[in-house]
Amino acid sequence: MALIRHHIAGAESGSSERTGVVFDPATGRAQHEVALASTAETDAAIAAAAAALPSWRATSLIKRADVFFRLRQLLVDRADELAAIITSEHGKVLSDAKGEISRGIENVEFAAGLVHLLKGEHSEQVSRGVDVHSVKQPVGVVACVTPFNFPVMVPLWMTASAIACGNTVVLKPSEKDPSASLFLAKLYEEAGLPAGVLNVVQGDKVAVDALLDSPDVRAVSFVGSTPIARSIYERAAANGKRVQALGGAKNHMVVMPDADLDAAADAAVSAAYGSAGERCMAVSVLVAVGDDVADALVAKVADRVAGLTIGAGTDAASEMGPLITGEHRDKVASYVTGAAAEGATVVVDGTAQHFEGDGFFLGVSLVDHVRPGMKVYDDEIFGPVLSVVRVASYDEAVELVNTSPFANGTAVFTRDGGTARQFEFDIEVGMVGVNVPIPVPVGAFSFGGWRSSLFGDSHIYGPESIHFYTRSKVVTSRWPDPSESQISLGFPSNH
- Residues with Cβ within 8 Å of 45's Cβ and at least 6 positions away in sequence, in order, are 6, 8, 37, 170, 199, 200, 201
Rounded CA-CA distance 45/169 in Å is 9
Q: What is the mean pLDDT of residues 423-427?
A: 97
Cross-strand bridge partners of residue 254: 287, 412
The reported pLDDT for the residue numbered 495 is 54
Residue-wise DSSP of 177-223: S-HHHHHHHHHHHHTTPPTTSEEE---SHHHHHHHHH-TTEEEEEEE
The reported pLDDT for the residue numbered 1 is 81
Planar angle of CA 17, 43, 186, nearest 5 degrees: 80
The reported pLDDT for the residue numbered 10 is 94
Distances from the Cα of 167 to the Cα of 44, 105, 152, 394, 473, angstroms: 17, 19, 20, 46, 16
Give the percent of the chain with pLDDT over 70.
Answer: 98
Give the percent of the chain with pLDDT over 90.
Answer: 89
Rounded CA-CA distance 404/432 in Å is 15
The reported pLDDT for the residue numbered 485 is 63
pTM for this predicted structure: 0.93
Range in 160-164, 223-227, 455-459 the model is least confident about: 455-459
Domains annotated for the chain, with CATH where assigned, are 2-247+453-475 (3.40.605.10), 251-434 (3.40.309.10)
Give pLDDT tens digits for 176-214. 999 999 999 999 999 999 999 999 999 999 999 999 999
SS3 label, residue 148:
coil
pLDDT band at 343 (very low <50, low <70, confident <90, very high): very high
Choosing from 280, 297, 385, 401, the catalytic residue is 280
Distances from the Cα of 453 to the Cα of 27, 107, 412, 457, angstroms: 33, 21, 19, 11
The reported pLDDT for the residue numbered 136 is 96
Length of the chain: 495
Rounded CA-CA distance 14/8 in Å is 9
Give pLDDT tens digits for 369-387. 999 999 999 999 999 999 9
The reported pLDDT for the residue numbered 221 is 97
Rounded CA-CA distance 284/268 in Å is 9
Rounded CA-CA distance 369/344 in Å is 5
The DSSP H or E segment spanning 449 is none
Phi and psi torsions of 409, nearest 5°: -140, 155
Q: What 8-state DSSP symbol labels residue 320? A: B
Q: Return the exposure string of 293-307: e unless at least 16 CB atoms fall within 10 Å of the residue's CB, then b.
A: bbebbbebbeebbee
Radius of gyration in angstroms for the set of CA atoms belonging to the chain, rounded to a whole number? 25
Beta-strand pair 431-434/409-413 = parallel
| Whether the predicted pLDDT of 43 surpasses 90 | yes
Q: What is the mean pLDDT of residues 293-309?
A: 96
The reported pLDDT for the residue numbered 445 is 85
Planar angle of CA 145, 150, 153, nearest 5 degrees: 85
The reported pLDDT for the residue numbered 493 is 64
Of 458 and 92, more confident:
92
The reported pLDDT for the residue numbered 474 is 96
Q: What is the mean pLDDT of residues 48-72?
A: 98
Residue 280 is among the residues annotated as catalytic for this protein: yes
Residue-wise DSSP of 284-299: EEEEEESHHHHHHHHH
| Whether the predicted pLDDT of 326 surpasses 70 | yes
